[in-house]
C-alpha cells in the first residue's frame, strides 16, 4: 500500500483577466461609486432575488460582501474604459475541487450583446486550470440568468436556499459545469467555426 499525498494547488481567485471586450479588475474600495452608478438602475435587479439592490444602502452591503470575498471583480468595457458591472469567484472547496461564480450584474446597455458570455467564458477558461467543477447560484425567478448559464453548458443540479451577505435567504437554483464538459463544449464550438 502506497501513501499518496495530494498536493493542493495554490491560485488566485482574483487575478486580472482580459479578452478583446472586457477587463476584469480585482475589486477595490475606490470602485464603489463607479459600480453604484451602474447598479442604481432598478431594471438590473427586477428578476434577481434581492430586487432592492439598486438602493444605495442595500448596494453598500452587497459591495462590502464583495470586498470581503476577496474574489470580486469590476468589469470594465475595454473600448470605453467604463465600469459596466461586477462578478466574482467565491466559496472555493479544496476537498470537492470546486468553486462558485456569481453575484454578477451588468449595465442594461450591455444586455444581449454577448458580454456575459465573454466574461463567463474567460473566467471558466482561467479557473478550470485549477478546479474540476464550477457551480452557480441563480435566483429561482431569474429566467434571464438561467437561460444565459444554460447557454454556457451549465446544467441545473439542485435547488437551495442561499443567504447572501447581509441579506435574507432566498431560493436559488444550483447549476454546474465540469471541466470536462467545458472542454468538450469548446472543442465542438471551435470545430463549427
Where residue 28 sits, what CATH number does that domain have?
A: 3.40.630.30
Tell me whether residue 93 is in a domain: yes
Q: Looking at the domain assignment, is residue 130 inside a domain?
A: yes
11 lies in some domain = no
Sign of the torsion formed by the C-alpha atoms of 139, 144, 147 and 152: negative
30 within domain boundaries: yes
Structural domain span for residue 128: 17-192
- Residue 185 placed within a domain: yes
Is residue 83 included in any domain, yes or no? Answer: yes
For the entire predicted model, the pTM comes to: 0.89
Burial of 172 by CB count in 10 Å (0-12 exposed, 13-18 middle, 19+ buried)?
buried
Give a yes or no: residue 129 inside a domain.
yes
Is 59 inside any structural domain? yes
Split into its structural domains, the chain has a count of 1
How many Å apart are CA 42 and CA 39, to the nearest integer? 8
pLDDT at position 165 is 73
Q: Mean pLDDT for each 10-residue chunk of the chain (193 residues)?
A: 44 95 98 97 90 95 95 97 97 95 95 94 96 94 91 94 78 95 80 53
Amino acid at each position: 500500500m502506497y501513501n499518496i499525498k495530494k498536493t493542493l494547488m495554490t491560485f488566485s481567485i482574483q487575478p486580472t483577466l482580459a479578452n478583446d471586450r472586457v477587463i476584469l479588475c480585482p475589486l477595490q474600495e475606490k470602485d464603489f461609486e463607479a459600480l453604484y452608478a451602474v447598479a442604481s438602475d432598478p431594471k438590473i435587479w427586477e428578476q434577481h432575488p434581492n430586487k432592492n439592490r439598486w438602493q444605495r444602502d442595500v448596494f453598500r452591503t452587497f459591495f462590502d460582501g464583495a470586498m470581503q470575498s476577496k474574489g470580486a471583480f469590476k468589469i470594465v468595457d475595454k473600448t470605453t474604459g467604463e465600469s459596466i458591472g461586477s462578478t466574482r469567484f467565491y466559496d472555493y472547496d479544496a476537498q470537492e475541487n470546486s468553486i462558485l461564480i456569481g453575484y454578477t450584474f451588468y449595465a442594461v446597455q450591455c444586455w444581449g450583446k454577448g458580454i456575459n458570455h465573454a466574461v463567463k467564458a474567460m473566467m471558466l477558461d482561467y479557473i478550470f486550470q485549477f478546479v474540476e467543477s464550477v457551480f452557480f447560484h441563480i435566483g429561482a425567478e431569474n429566467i434571464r440568468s438561467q437561460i444565459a448559464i444554460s447557454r454556457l453548458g451549465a446544467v441545473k443540479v439542485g435547488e437551495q436556499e442561499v443567504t447572501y451577505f447581509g441579506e435574507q435567504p432566498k431560493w436559488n437554483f444550483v447549476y454546474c459545469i465540469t471541466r470536462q464538459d467545458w472542454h468538450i463544449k469548446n472543442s465542438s464550438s471551435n470545430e463549427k467555426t
